[in-house]
């Protein structure tokens, strides 16, 4: 059985890590390189750095930030935000990224997924999907939002995940906008709907607040990996403690 992964996410704005609630009310959470150094020691499996304003500001992710983080870690690094073309992805990889995450650009130019998969391999191309419940319930489906959650893409999350896979994406980074920053638990209905629809790994994001939330999304949500930010940034939940807990729940995890 494949082990589940625990991933730390650093949302970066102006070179500093920030965290908000439902993509709003951003507050300072630390220095990217310092946090990366800590996570490398604590046993995080992977790190994701998302430049949360790069797309809105029409620029690339900050090269200096990527380089500073890459120098501190010996584990996979994914970079997202502002990757609109092949050259942007190349710049991120040159700065130290192992994988690139596409969101808005993938929807506006789906062919970019295939281009990058052909160049770097599917394992290096993640399609990020920011999703929200339609009508407040899972029965109405899940809509996709772009431009840092500010615009409705008029797409269904499950349908888009299937297309992303068919175009060469190696993973889906699935964020529940409804749960983001709330610490109310992952949206397991959303995660399971997407996980069951594709044959590539799905990373669950949005809502982590306690140990049981991770166990829930790995079992009920069928996630392959779980990503969190604030509970790790502010040391509310220790990575080693989380992994030990998951082992006691029968969930295969790297220690």
On whether the CB atoms of residues 47 and 41 are closer than 8 A, the answer is: no
The span from the CA of 83 to the CA of 87, in Å, is 8
| Residues in contact with 190: Cβ distance below 8 Å, sequence separation at least 6, in sequence order | 131, 133, 138, 142, 157, 174, 176, 221
On whether the CB atoms of residues 164 and 172 are closer than 8 A, the answer is: yes
**Annotation says 130 is catalytic:** yes
Q: Which of 98, 130, 187, 216 is catalytic?
A: 130
How long is the chain? 255
- Nearest CA to 132 out of 116, 140, 143 is that of 143
**Annotation says 139 is catalytic:** no
Q: Which of 11, 51, 187, 216 is catalytic?
A: 11
- The alpha-helical segments, DSSP class H, found in the chain are 32-42, 63-70, 86-95, 104-108, 111-120, 157-166, 188-195, 211-219, 230-233, 239-248
The span from the CA of 172 to the CA of 203, in Å, is 6
Query: Quick one: how many helices (H) and strands (E) in the chain?
Result: 10, 12
Helix axes 188-195, 157-166, angle to 10 degrees: 30
Catalytic residues: 11, 130
């Amino acid at each position: 059985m494949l082990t589940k992964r625990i991933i730390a996410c650093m949302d970066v704005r102006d070179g500093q890590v920030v965290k908000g609630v439902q993509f709003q009310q951003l507050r300072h959470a630390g220095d990217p390189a310092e946090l990366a150094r800590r996570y490398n020691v604590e046993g995080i499996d992977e790190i994701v750095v998302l430049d949360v304003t790069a797309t809105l500001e029409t620029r690339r992710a900050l090269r200096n930030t990527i380089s500073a983080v890459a120098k501190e870690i010996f584990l996979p690094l994914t970079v997202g935000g502002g990757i609109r073309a092949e050259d942007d992805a190349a710049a991120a990889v040159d700065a130290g990224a192992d994988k690139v995450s596409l969101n808005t650009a993938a929807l506006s130019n789906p062919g970019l997924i295939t281009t990058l998969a052909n160049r770097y391999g599917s394992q290096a191309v993640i399609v990020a999907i920011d999703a929200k419940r339609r009508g407040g319930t899972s029965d109405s489906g899940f809509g996709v939002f772009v431009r840092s959650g500010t615009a409705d893409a008029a797409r269904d999350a499950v349908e888009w995940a299937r297309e992303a896979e068919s175009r060469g994406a190696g993973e889906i980074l699935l964020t529940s906008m409804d749960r983001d920053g709330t610490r109310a638990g992952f949206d397991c209905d959303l995660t399971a709907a997407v996980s069951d629809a594709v044959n590539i790994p799905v990373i669950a994001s949005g809502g982590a607040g306690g140990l049981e939330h991770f166990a829930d999304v790995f079992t009920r949500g069928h996630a392959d990996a779980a990503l969190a930010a604030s509970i790790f940034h502010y040391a509310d939940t220790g990575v080693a403690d989380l992994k030990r807990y998951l082992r006691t729940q029968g969930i295969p995890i790297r220690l």
